[in-house]
Structure 1
Amino acid sequence: MKKWKYLTMTAVMGSALMLGACGKDDATQNGSTGDTSTQETAGQESADKKLQGAVAGDGSSTVAPIIEAVVEEYAGAQPDVKVSVGVSGTGGGFEKFIAGETDFSNASRPIKDEEKAKLDEAGIAFTELALAYDGLSVVVNPENDWAKDLTVDQLKKIWIEDGTEKKWSDIDPSWPAEKIVFYSPGTDSGTYDYFDEVILDGADLAKTATLSEDDNMLVQGVAGDKNAIGFFGYAYYLENKDKLAIVKIDGVEPTGDTIQSGEYKPLSRPLFTYVKNSAMKDNAAAYDFIKYTIENAGAMADAVGYVALPEEKYQEALTTLEGLK
């Protein structure tokens, strides 16, 4: 798997490889998805149409590997478009989206009702676009040879705060009588929100947990402590699988197949970007970047370790996006 740096980035590179997916939208509008020559011609026309401008986004660190990969490739197609994408977490990204600071907001969970209400108050109309599937991955240190397969109930017992100093032996008497060390995404993270919803059921997370919006810090923490446990997006596990051990949940390991099928439950989930409708209409560079993102999201998801949506879902998203122009 190609390594992508999960950082806030500004794309100003003058060259990058072009993906063969350019021109899908044009081909679809012409009523043909199987005519290779038409797609290639449309793709060439898109490459020849140079744009200038700026596009701003923010949001989920889980979605960041996909978007950064897209940004790097897009720089080759449109070198005069400046794309800046922050990684302040799903919640932090929505705060900037509501404040009118960004054209799009990446999210590892659906937008909340209160966030919708604030956008409505701000007069910002938006559209949700799905990008890929993820399997929220629970990981332990490779030296941990006991917690290889956990039930959902055990996850709850491990992670929910109950006022005690938890040891592994509290979960299973045959496990070591060593304190559990917790690493979790921060509270602005959509991954935290999703885990809260499906595992914590709204209860408090273990108060001794180290929280960070930087998933790479969580990786380092788990990799450095035999008694550590953490969770984050599947791509971050794949990127660091040489220093982490994946945990099965109710006997199911997250893989591309189990994530897409939903067998890896309840931790399979879609990943999104939310676009500002006015930006898609008034900012040609923003529209073009999001169109490029949808056209290439499946390939980029596969490249960085997530799972592509069915192709028809991307075509539906392109049709939706076209309607905003």
Structure 2
Amino acid sequence: MVLSRQKFNRYALAGVFAATVAAGVAAPSALSQNSIIQVDGSSTVFPISEAMAEEFMAANRGTQVTVGVSGTGGGFSKFCAGELDITGASRPIKSSEAEACTAAGIEYIEVPVATDALTVVINPDNTWAEEMTSEQLKMMWEPAAEGTITRWNQIDPSWPNAPIDLFGPGTDSGTFDYFTDEIVGESGASRADYTASEDDNILVLGVSRDTNALGYFGLAYYLENQDTLKAVAVDGVLPTPENVENGTYVPLSRPIFLYVKKSSLESSDEVRSFMEFVLDNAAEIVPEVGYVPLSEQRYEAILAEL
């Protein structure tokens, strides 16, 4: 069981990013003192990594888990360069990234940790685009829309003749890759004239301050900011944990992962203990930070494989 359990909305995702998670204070464990586990990668996976790190450090004084945020692509670049023990990813590793790891002699294990409902959001004052189809989103985000689809009434004539202000992840983001693949039909194919950031908090703030804005990011960032954002029902279905579990929120439900370096897992008791801790406690912690957990049987099977 997780020690010192508290609800993880205390992380207040908007504005909480930090390069390093502060160490917790608790009775020392049997793990060696002053060891460091280095984690980086996806901003979508960050809330899970941060929550796990704080709870793990509270139980293992002297073991420090640093959690960075450089995006899925940025995380894989560091991981395959041998700079990290673990990286978070909001999509599976690409073949080019796997080849880079192989070339550097980095072997890894892919560990699914949760399911995300990629969420399209609008400003609370937007009353016209509360429901959108996948085709309308494609019309708005595809490369051909750049400089051409610039006003809401071009998507639907009944909508206002007002500018569309778009906010989305940068090209290093796994969320960008997934969204463009599922909505546009080709991974990486997107208009470029939008406000892009690897920091989802910047996207949250941009949409919350602009009546004409629309953006997309992971479910946890919407759930932490429901007072300043409104979720769009895509093809008539809202992004909720229930709709992820019952399989109706498609095509924007997706698995999210941790990738752990085999050499770290084999040579470091701390890394192995941390990954075991993640899988032992994911069923409880994952929903508290805004994502949908896998079944307990699935976590047990992954742990057995690990």
Whether TM exceeds 0.5 here: the answer is yes
Q: How does 1:25-40 map to 2 (within 5 A)?
A: none
Contact in 1 for aligned 2:23/2:58 (Cα 8 Å): no
Separation (CA, whole Å) in 1 of partners of 2:292 and 2:41: 19
TM-fit CA distance, 1:320: 1.5
TM-fit CA distance, 1:224: 0.6
Which position in structure 1 is the counterpart of 2:3?
Answer: none
TM-fit CA distance, 1:57: 1.2
Separation (CA, whole Å) in 2 of partners of 1:258 and 1:165: 31
Alignment of 1:192 onto 2:176: yes
Separation (CA, whole Å) in 2 of partners of 1:80 and 1:192: 37
Pick aligned residue for 2:95 from 113, 116, 125: 113
Q: How does 1:209-288 map to 2 (within 5 A)?
A: 209-288=194-273
Q: Does the residue aligned with 1:3 lie in a helix, a strand or coil?
A: helix
* Equivalent residue pairs, number: 291
Separation (CA, whole Å) in 2 of partners of 1:185 and 1:191: 7
Which position in structure 1 is the counterpart of 2:38?
Answer: 56
Contact in 1 for aligned 2:152/2:159 (Cα 8 Å): yes
Contact in 1 for aligned 2:140/2:149 (Cα 8 Å): no
Contact in 2 for aligned 1:3/1:304 (Cα 8 Å): no
Separation (CA, whole Å) in 2 of partners of 1:15 and 1:314: 27
Which position in structure 1 is the counterpart of 2:10?
Answer: 3
Contact in 2 for aligned 1:51/1:78 (Cα 8 Å): no
Greater radius of gyration (CA): 1
Separation (CA, whole Å) in 2 of partners of 1:102 and 1:50: 19
Q: Does the residue aligned with 2:58 lie in a helix, a strand or coil?
A: helix
Alignment of 1:295 onto 2:302: no
Q: How does 1:174-185 map to 2 (within 5 A)?
A: 174-185=158-169
Pick aligned residue for 1:170 from 154, 164, 171: 154
Contact in 2 for aligned 1:98/1:124 (Cα 8 Å): yes
TM-fit CA distance, 1:3: 2.9
Unaligned runs of 5+ in 2: 1-6
Distance 1:10 1:48, change over 3 A: closer
Pick aligned residue for 1:144 from 123, 126, 130: 126
Separation (CA, whole Å) in 2 of partners of 1:7 and 1:253: 30
**TM-score, structure 1 normalization:** 0.86
TM-fit CA distance, 1:14: 1.2
Contact in 1 for aligned 2:41/2:76 (Cα 8 Å): yes
Separation (CA, whole Å) in 2 of partners of 1:7 and 1:148: 33
Task: Kindly report structure 1 stretches of 4+ aligned residues shifted beyond 3 Å.
Answer: none
Contact in 1 for aligned 2:43/2:69 (Cα 8 Å): yes
Pick aligned residue for 1:85 from 51, 54, 67: 67
List per-residue Cα deviations over 1:127-150 (Å, max 9, x = no partner): 100101100000000110000110
Separation (CA, whole Å) in 2 of partners of 1:120 and 1:263: 38
Q: Does the residue aligned with 1:10 lie in a helix, a strand or coil?
A: coil
Amino acid at match of 2:263: S
